[in-house]
């Protein structure tokens, strides 16, 4: 594969390197800014890294949940279908902030004292459950978009139901669902700011602390907005390049 500027792989590589350089080097230019930004440059950088980790962890788990629940909603087993429908209905019908607070308050009551988890883990669980419900509908729509004739042809060739799903249905359905999944991921970057409600020291919580100490909310929240814009741009660039890569692969396959 040639790494040219027109190649989506090059764009993905550049976006990942740019994101890493930004996360670990953003404190340098921020340190040159006037008060209250400069003295808190390291805090902004640490908060941005926590935001990215929260997004990646909950986003990855959310994709898995979306695939499982999407299959469950299409299952012929009625109780499983009802359970997945109830999950999507419950999560999509309640505020994310309420879900974060519920997980944060309920988990300590469920788990024994020896298995208590951190506030970060509680936020990641709530965010994963939330985005998983939205991913469910994206995955379900992608699976339904795969022509039934391809499934029947695969079964006629002797492929098992699992092989048919993994080799035929899943790759095509994820290609169809990718734009919607990418949109959910970009929203998750911003939704992760609600983790401040349970004292997770992510980017928004850092901003609240700095503006409370400096009494200068405008420069603080402008800086936070700029960082969020850069993060969402990096994530959307990565997903757009991945989408283009899949399109290129599909066109090559159709032309071959």
List pLDDT tens digits, range 119-167.
999 999 999 999 999 999 999 999 998 888 888 888 888 888 888 888 8
234 and 22 Cβ atoms separated by less than 8 Å = yes
Average pLDDT in the chain: 87
Domains of the chain with bracketed CATH:
8-255 (1.10.3720.10)
pLDDT at 158: 84
Q: For the whole model, what pTM was predicted?
A: 0.87
230 and 22 Cβ atoms separated by less than 8 Å = yes
Other beta carbons less than 10 A from residue 225's beta carbon: 11
Encoding tokens for residue 155? 């079964």
In the structure, what pLDDT confidence band is assigned to residue 249 with cuts at 50, 70 and 90? very low
Give the Cα separation of 123 and 32 in Å (integer). Answer: 33
**For 18-22, 213-217, 249-253, which range has the lowest pLDDT when averaged over its residues?**
249-253
For the chain, percent of residues with pLDDT exceeding 70:
91
Instruction: Find tokens 């079964």 and name the residue.
Output: 155
Give the Cα separation of 124 and 114 in Å (integer). Answer: 20
List pLDDT tens digits, range 56-92.
999 999 999 999 999 999 988 999 999 999 999 999 9
pLDDT at 247: 66
Identify the CA nearest to 177 among candidates 144, 130, 133: 144
Of 3-12, 68-77, 105-114, 246-255, give the range with the top mean pLDDT: 68-77
CA distances from 93 to 53, 98, 134, 226 (A): 26, 11, 11, 31
Give the Cα separation of 12 and 152 in Å (integer). Answer: 35
pLDDT at 53: 94
Instruction: Find tokens 């970060």 and name the residue.
Output: 120
Taking each helix axis from N to C end, the angle separating 96-110 and 119-145, rounded to the nearest 10 degrees, works out to 120
């Amino acid at each position: 594969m040639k790494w040219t500027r027109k190649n989506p792989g090059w764009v993905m590589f550049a976006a990942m390197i740019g994101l890493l350089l930004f996360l670990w080097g953003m404190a340098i230019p921020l340190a040159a800014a006037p008060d209250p930004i400069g003295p808190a440059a390291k805090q902004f950088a640490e908060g941005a890294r926590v935001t990215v980790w929260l997004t990646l962890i909950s986003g990855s788990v959310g994709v898995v949940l979306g695939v499982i629940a999407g299959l469950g909603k299409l299952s012929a087993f009625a109780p499983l279908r009802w359970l997945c429908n109830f999950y999507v209905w419950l999560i999509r019908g309640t505020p994310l902030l309420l879900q974060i607070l519920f997980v944060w308050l309920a988990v300590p009551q469920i788990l024994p004292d020896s298995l208590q988890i951190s506030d970060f883990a509680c936020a990641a669980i709530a965010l994963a459950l939330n985005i998983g419900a939205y991913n469910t509908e994206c995955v379900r729509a992608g699976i339904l978009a795969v022509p039934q004739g391809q499934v029947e042809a695969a079964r006629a060739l002797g492929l098992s139901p699992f092989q048919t799903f993994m080799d035929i249905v899943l790759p095509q359905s994820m290609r169809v669902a990718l734009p919607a999944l990418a949109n959910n991921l970009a929203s998750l970057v911003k939704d992760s700011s609600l983790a401040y409600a349970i004292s997770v020291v992510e980017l928004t919580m850092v901003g609240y602390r700095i503006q409370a100490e400096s009494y200068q909310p405008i420069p603080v929240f402008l800086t936070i907005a700029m960082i969020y814009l850069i993060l969402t741009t990096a994530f959307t660039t990565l997903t757009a390049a991945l989408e283009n890569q899949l399109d290129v692969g599909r066109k090559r396959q159709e032309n071959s």
